[in-house]
Structure 1
């Protein structure tokens, strides 16, 4: 049976990481002749992990799993989603000097990357909240192999994970429409979908949006439209009396610079690949204190 680590005390959904994943990450980082860590004497030490800039925390469960793998004692007063000021201590550690040094880079890489995504997401959510209750969601533009961690960081920042994979929702994109047409693609999706799966259609015009709504789409994504086009399309859809359960999503080229304009359109969801691929790592450090 695969062994998995997860922390059960957090209010945010747990991230489960399997032992073989940790070992795969460590194999990449430690290699086969780790001289640098073995230079230091093997003894019990204490250390702290702290943020060198303001941030929103994410990835604490992953860090805790790495510490548990190495037998490092750890404590924290924080949870994913909390705001932390510059200089704030994320973890206090105690244990083998060799183990702490070997866990250092892997832990800091995860924390720096995931806190960066959570911080970027929180800023975008705060911008949108000035105008409406629109959901800020990420996309499948993620780093292969660590998608679930990146999407959990979006959740920690107050965002929505959207689809974790292709199974979650049937999304009819532009190339599907080119091959089958809107109505044909939706009809085929309805025949193949399980009763729990929603059908989302990506459109680039008001006419196709109306067509998708009339054909029974559950979610209509307005792709690569200017804010004014989005507002006009939503108004037209309302005039068509589309069912209340139909969700209107906007996507394509949306970032922190133009988010204000899209948040005013009346859309239900704004999906942004930039939540992840344009996030900047947070500077996080480990320091042995004894």
Structure 2
């Protein structure tokens, strides 16, 4: 990618809507600086024309995700900034590696610092965690999926980080894919009744069905389901579902999938494993900002 690409172009390349990110960043900055955008400490120490160069560097090994988002935070400040990328999205980064250099008014740099780092640390943490799963599953025909268990206000960014880390996104919300779960099955009376109700009301929407037994799986497939979530099944049970369903539906193993057991689940032949922990429990990757020496 050409180094003269701006933040918006890089966001688009990553499948993010720049206008969404710009608006979100404005809200994030208001949270830290108030609507008046004041950093009372830096304003007391540095004059309005004082300039500096800072470097953003990794303080731990991991996977880089979110540098264009951090760039957007600095661009949202009132003064001109120059943001130089020194690493690319998805790169495996090492402790001490400089990821970017930013030049501008010192007040702007320090006012943007925490918001930019909060986002960058969070997204790098998710990408790093996801990459561990993707690496484990590299020799299997099984992909790792995220879920809707995301931080309110950060879903698009967190799902972006999953993609950067080598995972795939499941549905983005309740609006784009129908998912029939236990409460829906109980209310409708059966798996097939729930499936037909949704298909009748939403003929163009993809439908996924959560199943807990091989009998439910076969009922769902007979009704026309082509994507099944096999919830909290043992690897032995999953293998039986895989054999029974064959290629009539894609299968996802879900529920308590960890790095310790992911390969065991992949070995059953499922197409996907979903891991809510990617977005609700990934530890941050430590990233820092310092004045350039």
Task: Using structure 2 for the length normalisation, give the TM-score.
Answer: 0.90
- 1:36-74 Cα deviation digits (max 9, x unpaired): 121322311111000011111111221111121123210
Tell me the residue number matched to 2:267.
Answer: 264
3-state DSSP of counterpart to 1:256: coil
Paired residues of 1:14 and 1:61 also in contact (CA < 8 A)? no
Which of 223, 226, 229 does residue 215 from structure 1 map onto? 223
Paired residues of 1:7 and 1:64 also in contact (CA < 8 A)? no
- Segments of structure 1 that go 5 or more residues without pairing to the other structure are none
CA distance in 2, matches of 1:281, 1:220: 32
For residues 1-290 of structure 1, what are the structure 2 equivalents within 5 Å? 6-9=7-10, 11-16=13-18, 17-31=20-34, 34-42=39-47, 43-70=50-77, 71-130=80-139, 132-180=140-188, 181-195=190-204, 197-238=205-246, 243=248, 246-289=249-292
3-state DSSP of counterpart to 2:96: coil
Deviation at 1:22, TM superposition (A): 2.0
CA distance in 2, matches of 1:248, 1:20: 37
Deviation at 1:34, TM superposition (A): 3.2
Paired residues of 1:50 and 1:285 also in contact (CA < 8 A)? yes
CA distance in 2, matches of 1:6, 1:237: 45
Q: RMSD across aligned C-alpha pairs, in angstroms?
A: 1.7
CA distance in 2, matches of 1:194, 1:92: 51
CA distance in 2, matches of 1:226, 1:38: 59
- 1:1-54 Cα deviation digits (max 9, x unpaired): xxxx95314753235235442222112112466321213223111110000111
Paired residues of 1:15 and 1:149 also in contact (CA < 8 A)? no
CA distance in 2, matches of 1:137, 1:104: 31
3-state DSSP of counterpart to 1:90: strand
Tell me the residue number matched to 2:3.
Answer: none
CA distance in 2, matches of 1:275, 1:250: 15
CA distance in 2, matches of 1:69, 1:271: 35
Deviation at 1:237, TM superposition (A): 1.8
CA distance in 2, matches of 1:161, 1:6: 23
CA distance in 2, matches of 1:107, 1:25: 9
CA distance in 2, matches of 1:200, 1:283: 37
Deviating 4+ runs (over 6 angstroms): none
Paired residues of 1:48 and 1:90 also in contact (CA < 8 A)? yes
Paired residues of 1:44 and 1:96 also in contact (CA < 8 A)? yes
- Segments of structure 2 that go 5 or more residues without pairing to the other structure are 1-5
